[in-house]
Amino acid sequence: MNNDPGATSRNRILAAATEIAQAHGYSGLNLRALAEQVGVKAASLYHHFPSKADLAAAVARRYWENSAATLDALAVEAGTPEASLRRYPETFRRSLENGNRICLCSFMSAEYDDLPPVAQQEVQAFAEINVAWLGKMLQAAGMAPAEADVRAHAIFAAVSGAQLMARGRADIALFDALIDSYRAAGLLSA
């Protein structure tokens, strides 16, 4: 167990910054308000993160690292590549279940031009780990082996797009309906 108070402060800052960014994006990440929410002085933020760009990059990096671990755990829990692919949309649905939020990296992707380069790289990493995981599952399931990369990109875009549409309407049932339509059309496994 890590008893380092600095690590605890850093984790609290990252957790709060993630929630803010999921609701308001990079542009809505106000460091003074973040410090107040976490209960630290603004100088403490700068001790852990020298700039807003560094904070955004750390938040996005932690998010994609957690997402990668979630996907790996899903593959183990699901048991087969087909079951893993069937359950993939659940990873995006959870954000909607958490206060109608969307995937942090989807939000930041919409603001891509306004992100500092260090944060842009971390946001790209999120998409890359999702597409790589999907491609691996598609290959293992024997589904479109020659086109696994193209199909993986299409699945990622469709699921993240469904999440965005559902958030815009504050309607998780819309997300479920879109996922069902992707299954009916053959994009996702039934």
Instruction: Please report the domains of the chain, with CATH numbers, ordered by start residue.
Output: 53-185 (1.10.357.10)
Question: For 129-133, 146-150, 154-158, which range has the lowest pLDDT when averaged over its residues?
Answer: 146-150
- pLDDT over threshold 50, residue 125: yes
Q: What are phi and psi of 94, to 5 degrees?
A: -60, -35
Query: Residue 153 has which token pair?
Result: 């990109």
38-61 tens-digit pLDDT: 998 888 888 899 999 999 999 989
* HEC string for 10-68: HHHHHHHHHHHHHHHCCCCCCHHHHHHHHCCCHHHHHHHCCCHHHHHHHHHHHHHHHHH
Question: For 9-13, 24-28, 182-186, which range has the lowest pLDDT when averaged over its residues?
Answer: 24-28
Query: Residue 179 has which token pair?
Result: 């996922």
Identify the helix (H) or strand (E) that includes residue 175: helix 172-185
160-182 tens-digit pLDDT: 999 999 999 999 999 999 999 99
Q: Count CB-CB contacts under 10 A for residue 186.
A: 9
111 Cβ contact list (under 8 Å, min separation 6)? 25, 26, 27
> Which pLDDT score is estimated for 2?
45
Amino acid, res. 172? I
Give the dihedral of Cα atoms 123, 127, 133, 138; nearest 10 deg: 180
Instruction: Answer yes or no: are the C-beta atoms of 56 and 119 closer than 8 Å.
Output: yes
In whole angstroms, give the CA distance from residue 109 to residue 27: 12
Query: Residue 71 has which token pair?
Result: 């996907």
Q: Work out the average pLDDT over 128-152.
A: 92
Instruction: Answer yes or no: are the C-beta atoms of 110 and 27 closer than 8 Å.
Output: no
Q: Count CB-CB contacts under 10 A for residue 145.
A: 12
